[in-house]
């Protein structure tokens, strides 16, 4: 493992822990050269899952892209990183449970929308504005009205 600070190739593991659901190993490492510490995560990589994008192109499923989208939507909201990680874990598990190794991006977007809607309405609207390509204030207004209508039921 290369040190992210000085790029030295020699590091040592100081601490190793399994996560609560045993699917990820967390390692605390220290660079032999600069002595700085950093954390790495190791997970079993199962068969590759490809995402079919709107334009028909395919790319490998990237957990980090899902996480980045959710983090952006949840920016400056009172949502713990643990809850966000759990949502990404659930979405990834759902995608891996499909029989096929190709998943349309629309399915991933809908899974994120569903999770954010139950987690935080502001984060939901933020994500929806990008995912559903809101192009004006009326789009936001319609979505907020739908949320208010659902809430009053």
User: What's the domain count of the chain?
Assistant: 2
H or E element at residue 151: helix 137-152
pTM, two decimals, is 0.67
Question: Is residue 27 located within the same domain as residue 58?
Answer: no
Evaluate whether 18 touches 41 at the Cβ level (below 8 Å): no
Please give the average per-residue pLDDT across 100-117, as a whole number. 94
Question: Is residue 81 located within the same domain as residue 22?
Answer: no
Confidence of residue 20 (pLDDT cuts 50, 70, 90): low
Question: Is residue 26 located within the same domain as residue 55?
Answer: no
Q: Which of 44, 55, 27 is nearest to 92 (CA)?
A: 44
CA-to-CA distance for 56 and 22, rounded, in angstroms? 35
Q: Look over the chain and give the mean of its residue pLDDT values, rounded to a whole number.
A: 90
Question: Is residue 143 located within the same domain as residue 71?
Answer: yes
- Residue-wise pLDDT for 35-91, tens only, equals 999 999 887 766 689 999 999 999 999 999 999 999 999 999 999 999 999 999 999
Sign of the C-alpha dihedral computed for residues 33, 37, 41 and 42 taken in this order = positive
Tell me which residue range forms the domain holding 98. 46-152
């Amino acid at each position: 493992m290369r040190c992210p600070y000085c790029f030295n190739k020699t590091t040592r593991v100081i601490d190793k822990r399994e996560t609560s659901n045993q699917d990820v190993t967390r390692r605390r490492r220290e660079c032999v050269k600069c002595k700085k510490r950093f954390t790495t995560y190791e997970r079993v990589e199962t068969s590759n899952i490809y995402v079919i994008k709107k334009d028909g192109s395919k790319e490998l499923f990237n957990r980090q892209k899902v996480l980045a989208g959710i983090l952006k939507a949840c920016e400056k909201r009172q949502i713990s990183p643990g809850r966000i990680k759990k949502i990404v874990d659930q979405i990834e598990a759902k995608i891996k449970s499909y029989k096929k190794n190709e998943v349309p991006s629309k399915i991933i977007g809908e899974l994120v929308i569903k999770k954010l809607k139950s987690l935080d309405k502001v984060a939901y609207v933020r994500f929806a504005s990008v995912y559903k390509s809101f192009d004006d204030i009326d789009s936001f207004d319609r979505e907020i009205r739908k949320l208010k209508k659902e809430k009053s039921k």
